[in-house]
Structure 1
Amino acid sequence: MFKKVLAILTVCILFTVNLKAKYPLPALQKEFNIKAYGAIGDGKTDNAQAIQKAIDAASNSGGGKVIVPAGAVFLTGPFNLKSNIEFNVEVNAKVLANPNEKVYTKSAFRENKGEGTIWIGGENLINVTISGGGTIDGNGISFMGAELEDSYVLKPFTVVDPRPHLLTIVGGKNIRIRDLSIVNSAYWTIHLIGCNDVTIDNITLLNSLKVRNSDGIDLDHSKNVRISNCYIESGDDCICLKNRREYEEFGTCENITVNNCTMTSRSCAIKIGSENMDKISQVLINNCIIKKSNRGIGIQNRDEGTVSDVIFSNIIIESHLFSDVWWGKSEPIYVTSYARAKGNNKDAGWRFPKGATEGRAGAVKNIFFSNIKCSSENGIYVGGESPELVSGITFDQVDLFIDKTTNISGGFFDRRPSNVEGLPKANVSAFYIDKANDVLIRNSSIKWGTQLPDYFGHAVEIHQSGSVKVIGLEGTSAFPKKMDAVKDYH
């Protein structure tokens, strides 16, 4: 009996050894706790050096997990991520930006020093994950001036705007940002430049709704990006696609998907532009909720780049008016192409092609809106400098409810920053088409509320446009006894 048991055990051991040889177990990920490198979680000590040492050690060892341990607040100035690491902020841990403006010296836009600095940065990164159930806090209010009714005063500066962007990655590949809270940025929050193969999933991004320029996620010359399951509140745009001139070598912005996100913005919840000197294309945005925003969806082309082949579907939009500090006039959907305004502002030299003092607008075409439900104080605006610039715009099952809900003056659209009148006075018509071509409004509806100021207008209003087809539209003008549902002002 003993010999039989021994034989069986021998066979099992040999089988296990052979199995391990054929299918070896993966090596455990190395861990690098920032405390082991001198970090002190008292919320007062600047831990930039300690955090950088932990990141460098993980990357230099071939990769590993850099741990920000639970139960403490780690104040820090700027530091840089490195390749092959996971930066893990544990539950109940916080990484907090140092409020001392003097520690922020690296420009977020290279030689253009007037648009913020970098807090957490990294260049030419491969295989980087930022994760954990904790919080990365940009300490944004520390960098603001006096508080106003719906914004903060921006502090004056001479050459360098010291306000830090929270996360800036230039030239990243295989980037993962997931399962954590990112809050209180003083400027743009997540800025991904020239990145390829990116996933942003299940993050809570909460900025003060009074902080100007506090974009949520900016995809700049980036490709193959998936954003999903996020909750975003930001004073400026929640999700923005663009091609900045400072990073033109990275080319187009394309192959972008956004799914299952909830957003609130004082500017535009989902925006394409305004900076776009290349091409933005192949974009799918689906299953999203936009609440209490100024503008819902905006294509704001102001440079020579083009925007094409974009689909928005299954979206609920709630928008209303805010002060002129914020761009937008409660347009739930906004599709435009106007050349950028000329000016002598701090960054004017970076807005136009090198050596130029003015620019031109590129085409916006093949844009589709399907199953969109809008509640707003204004209508949908589609327009450009000429009908050829804005074409192939389809609205299918787009339903609008328009009512006056604030005491802020209406009867305007917002075309800033452009070389035409920025805030033109106009009827609030449900669909306002101004110099566009090949526009289709199909199986859509308009309902008006009980608060109807005299500037509320038609269901569809058309100015100097090419083909505009209206098929299966339900609804009337705001005042059906005085004005037609559809009016073409050719």
Structure 2
Amino acid sequence: MKKIFVALVCMMAFAVNAQTIFNVKDFGAKGDGKTDDAMAIQKAIDACSNAGGGRVLFPAPGTYLSGPFNLKSNIDFHLPGNVLLLAHPDEKKYTKSAFRTNPGEGTIWIGGENIENLTLSGTGEINGNGISFMGAELEDSYVLKPFNIVDPRPHVLTIVGGKNIRIRDLKIGNSAYWTVHLIGCDDVVISGITLLNSLKVRNSDGIDLDHSKNVRISDCYIESGDDCICLKNRREYEEFGVCENIVVSNCTMTSRSCAIKIGSENMDTIRQVLFNNCIIKKSNRGVGIQNRDEGVVTDVIFSNMIIEGQLFSDVWWGKAEPIYVTAFRRAKIDHKDANWRFPKGATEGRVGEVKNIYFSNIKCISENGIFVSAESADKISNIVFDHVDVFIDKTTALPGGIYDRRPAQVEGFVTGSTSGFYFENATGIKVRNSHVEWGKNKPAYFNQVVESKNTPLLQLKNVTGEAAFPSKKKKSK
């Protein structure tokens, strides 16, 4: 048996070594951090794909400065350790919109369309050079530079219509806009990556799954100014249909906005989703389902999580809600991409249902409580909280007692009290085996274990804790 095992290992090693290598330096890349190597990189990619496949290799050490280029089918795009692939800082090089004929939300740096059997691998780094595209640094963010029609800020990686996509082990980030945007992709594995964006860069999402299916994300560490992992169905790519069969596990995330978000763009259906064994640190919002369009969100499970939240400025959406489930029609605003926010020809949208959502074995530590709210009670139904514990303590100087409903047609901020569980306009909520506890710092707006308004079929079983100020009269349900 030992001889057979050794023989198999040798055969596997031979197969790896036998993979055809396309060294970018053989195609003219300099790797000196000064020369734009985009043309050489593209030549290596084209040659590799045209030959039937192989590995596009960036030899170490080296800093490969590059403008935009496109990935192709059947390649392993490989960056070893001590290799940096750096986006060129010249805004004029970025002209292709990341959202087709909607030019107002960034451009494409590394792209790929209708490709299959693609791997991005190695222990090197893909760096979007994001700070180079920012304006002045402020206390809580960077100023966004004005633009006319095309926002030149590049997304790091945009794949449209991909199949059998693998992204593993890389360090990727410093994005000026979204980092990994997968649109209409099927059969995707993202594992072991470290994704680091500046916590001051707005719109710097980590991983966006857009109309994608059969995706597994695991063992990743993500820091993003905007959402870390986001599921959505953008209107610009509606032909790709539903977003479904998504599993996220063993990830650690930090965000100034929402660490895990479903929505707000959702013109189709998001369903069959699992988030398990994740840690969320110091985020403005932990888990958020933010339905603002006609699509439906259903059959989602969040389990075995630690969520740590705190307040940040109003630049960032969220008010330290560890768990947030909302359904409101999108606000009508004069915005750079307003024509893409509603169905074609419409000037006002509608919102779809959020239903069959399960939260299990989750520990929340934040300045705010869990928030569930909709424009009417028929829009949110069957939300289950089982073994969900909430610890609320005031830890920053920023004002609290507020929930954030942006971007909603109703008033964006709800000002009132902070309760462990706050429910408004929802049907069939179940809370069981859960506990609410208050910290030492208790401002006057801290309130009840459970506060509810217009919530038919609310069920509470073995919910423990007491009001923040027990001597105050309890508010009616």
Q: Determine if the TM-score, normalized by the shorter chain, exceeds 0.5.
A: yes
2:196 maps to which of 206, 226, 234: 206
Is the 2:371–2:421 Cα contact (8 Å) retained in structure 1? yes
1:4-15 alignment runs, 5 A limit: none
Residue type at the aligned position of 1:271: K
Is the 1:402–1:448 Cα contact (8 Å) retained in structure 2? yes
1:46 maps to which of 36, 42, 56: 36
Structure 2 equivalent of residue 287 of structure 1: 277
2: CA distance between counterparts of 1:240 and 1:350?
19
Structure 2 equivalent of residue 474 of structure 1: 464
2: CA distance between counterparts of 1:236 and 1:175?
24
| TM-score calculated relative to the size of structure 1 | 0.94
TM-fit CA distance, 1:355: 0.4
SS of corresponding position for 1:299: strand
Is the 1:457–1:483 Cα contact (8 Å) retained in structure 2? no
1: CA distance between counterparts of 2:461 and 2:143?
47
1:126-137 alignment runs, 5 A limit: 126-137=116-127
Structure 1 equivalent of residue 86 of structure 2: 96
Is the 2:357–2:382 Cα contact (8 Å) retained in structure 1? yes
1:190 maps to which of 180, 190, 203: 180
Residue type at the aligned position of 2:156: L
2:332 maps to which of 323, 342, 349: 342
Q: Deviations over 1:26-54 (max 9, x none)?
A: 58210001000000111111000000000
1: CA distance between counterparts of 2:260 and 2:254?
10
Structure 2 equivalent of residue 316 of structure 1: 306
1:214-225 alignment runs, 5 A limit: 214-225=204-215
Structure 2 equivalent of residue 175 of structure 1: 165
**CA pair 475-421 structure 1, distance change in 2 beyond 3 A:** same
Structure 2 equivalent of residue 403 of structure 1: 393
1:289-438 alignment runs, 5 A limit: 289-438=279-428
Larger radius of gyration: 1
SS of corresponding position for 1:248: helix
Structure 2 equivalent of residue 149 of structure 1: 139
Is the 1:375–1:400 Cα contact (8 Å) retained in structure 2? yes
Q: Deviations over 1:129-173 (max 9, x none)?
A: 000010000000000000000100000001000000000000000
Residue type at the aligned position of 1:357: T
| TM-score calculated relative to the size of structure 2 | 0.96
Is the 1:458–1:483 Cα contact (8 Å) retained in structure 2? no
Is the 1:139–1:184 Cα contact (8 Å) retained in structure 2? yes
Is the 1:99–1:143 Cα contact (8 Å) retained in structure 2? yes
2:129 maps to which of 130, 139, 143: 139
Residue type at the aligned position of 1:116: G
TM-fit CA distance, 1:467: 1.1
1:60-79 alignment runs, 5 A limit: 60-79=50-69
SS of corresponding position for 1:472: strand
Residue type at the aligned position of 1:217: I
2: CA distance between counterparts of 1:401 and 1:44?
51
Structure 1 equivalent of residue 4 of structure 2: none
SS of corresponding position for 2:413: coil
2: CA distance between counterparts of 1:464 and 1:347?
35
2: CA distance between counterparts of 1:353 and 1:61?
43
TM-fit CA distance, 1:483: 3.4
Residue type at the aligned position of 1:402: I
Aligned residues: 465
Structure 1 equivalent of residue 218 of structure 2: 228
Is the 2:356–2:381 Cα contact (8 Å) retained in structure 1? yes
Structure 2 equivalent of residue 19 of structure 1: none
2: CA distance between counterparts of 1:166 and 1:412?
34
Structure 2 equivalent of residue 111 of structure 1: 101
2: CA distance between counterparts of 1:56 and 1:102?
24
TM-fit CA distance, 1:292: 0.6
Is the 2:416–2:445 Cα contact (8 Å) retained in structure 1? yes
2: CA distance between counterparts of 1:342 and 1:231?
36
1: CA distance between counterparts of 2:369 and 2:375?
20
TM-fit CA distance, 1:488: 4.0
Is the 1:223–1:255 Cα contact (8 Å) retained in structure 2? yes
5+ unaligned residues in a row in structure 1: which ranges? 1-22
1:437-452 alignment runs, 5 A limit: 437-452=427-442
Is the 2:73–2:115 Cα contact (8 Å) retained in structure 1? yes
Q: Deviations over 1:428-479 (max 9, x none)?
A: 0110000000000000000100111111111100011211111001101111
Structure 2 equivalent of residue 33 of structure 1: 23
Structure 1 equivalent of residue 3 of structure 2: none
Report percent identity of matched pairs. 70
Structure 1 equivalent of residue 115 of structure 2: 125
2: CA distance between counterparts of 1:152 and 1:468?
43
2: CA distance between counterparts of 1:56 and 1:152?
37
Q: Deviations over 1:249-280 (max 9, x none)?
A: 00000000000000000000000000000000
Residue type at the aligned position of 1:66: V
Is the 1:477–1:483 Cα contact (8 Å) retained in structure 2? no
TM-fit CA distance, 1:69: 1.2
2: CA distance between counterparts of 1:222 and 1:426?
38
Is the 1:394–1:440 Cα contact (8 Å) retained in structure 2? yes
| Alignment partner of 1:242 is 2:232 | yes
Is the 2:429–2:455 Cα contact (8 Å) retained in structure 1? no
**CA pair 26-70 structure 1, distance change in 2 beyond 3 A:** closer
1: CA distance between counterparts of 2:473 and 2:207?
42
| Alignment partner of 1:57 is 2:33 | no
Q: Deviations over 1:268-305 (max 9, x none)?
A: 00000000000000000000000010000000000000
Residue type at the aligned position of 2:273: V
